[in-house]
Amino acid sequence: MLLFVSVNQILLFLLVLTVCAILYNKVHQMPSALKNETVDLESPEEMEEEIPVVICAAAGRMGATIAAISSIYSNTEANVLFYIVGLKSTIPHIRKWIENSKLKEIKFKVVEFNPMVLKGKIRQDASRPELLQPLNFVRFYLPLLIQKHEKVIYLDDDIIVQGDIQELYDTKLAPGHAAAFSDDCDLPSTHEMVRSVGMQNTYMGFLDYRKQAIRDLGISPSTCSFNPGVIVANMTEWKHQRITKQLEKWMQRNVEENLYSSTLGGGVATSPMLIVFHGKYSAINPMWHIRHLGWSPDTRYSEHFLQEAKLLHWNGRYKPWDYPSVHTDLWENWFIPDPSGKFKLTRPDS
């Protein structure tokens, strides 16, 4: 009897062991393809890098923002996240425009900019009031608006991107540099344009060298300037060097001492950056910032040169959505009409 019980116990044990082995195989011997998919989804190395692009949406210029976004989105396969910065009054309009057009597929966040941060930091100047608009200073506050990214692209709204934005994002910043800009002396083919319309491309055109505070900087007035309408920024360095605080210091000094004004070349938003970043910035590929298209309604670049350009910038008074202006066809290729009908292009026959 004892032998019988013992045999039954052994058989039961073997049966349980067999069942466990079968279950183990079913659970753990998954098809290799499915296992690979699971690993890929969870592996951070395989995740596509997100490219944050900051661009403003100002009242009266939202068509520019839309065209810029459209050009970027259409010319890249990269994972772009647009940070669209506006004032409280403009945000509903730009959101509706995007969501009711072919841009509804883009990844974007709308960020409200509080103009109160500029209180006491801007010297009023009636000669170029458009240069005093609050959104012109968004680039000063990038780490406060965009917090989760190490590297950020900032773009003015009056640009069109014809290349792959991934290439611009891959711009190398030297150790210790918080930003990369385009040097105003970097492209010989633009020099004739600069001379023909009387633009300044040195610090003399932006700072008042009659003021002792400017002379004390030790910067030669013939030093080549740079254009902050296209920026590739390192947020870690920006915060470490307290760039925003430095910019605000020079804004406040200008209020007190009138060190630069909008009657000079770049107005009140470029000059503080020229001071703070002097000798401490990396270079953007010149073809990634072909500018001055908005400085004259008559002077034009060659069509071949513009086709080779990666990014076009209509900096200056003559914008491609207004009249007169030049090379408007290149801009209109990317413009998407306003579903609400509020924004309209100004053309000779309109």
Q: Which of 190, 220, 204 is nearest to 313 (CA)?
A: 190
| Predicted model pTM | 0.84
pLDDT at residue 193 is higher than 90: no
pLDDT tens, residue by residue, 245-258: 999 999 999 999 99
* Segment 46-74 mean pLDDT: 93
pLDDT of residue 217: 97
226-234 vs 179-183, strand pairing mode: antiparallel
- Weakest mean pLDDT among 136-150, 175-189, 246-260, 285-299: 175-189
pLDDT of residue 205: 86
50-56 vs 151-155, strand pairing mode: parallel
Extract long-range pairs of 147-151: CB within 8 Å, 24+ residues apart: 149/50, 149/52, 149/235, 150/234, 150/235, 150/236, 151/52, 151/232, 151/233, 151/234, 151/235
pLDDT of residue 31: 35
Distances 138 to 83, 84, 134 between C-alpha atoms, Å: 11, 11, 7
- Domain 51-187+194-333 coded CATH 3.30.300.30: no
Q: Where are the domains of the chain?
A: 51-187+194-333
pLDDT tens, residue by residue, 97-148: 999 999 999 999 999 999 999 999 987 764 566 667 899 999 999 999 998 9
Q: How confident is the model at residue 268 (pLDDT cuts 50, 70, 90)?
A: confident
* Segment 181-206 mean pLDDT: 72
Residue 177 · residue 234 · CB < 8 Å? yes
pLDDT at residue 200 is higher than 80: no
Task: Decide which of 161 and 3 is more confident.
Answer: 161
Extract the tokens encoding 271.
């000059």
pLDDT of residue 195: 59
* Segment 142-159 mean pLDDT: 96
Task: Decide which of 24 and 248 is more confident.
Answer: 248
Region for residue 258 given its phi and psi (left: phi exceeds 0; alpha: psi -120 to 50; beta: otherwise) = left
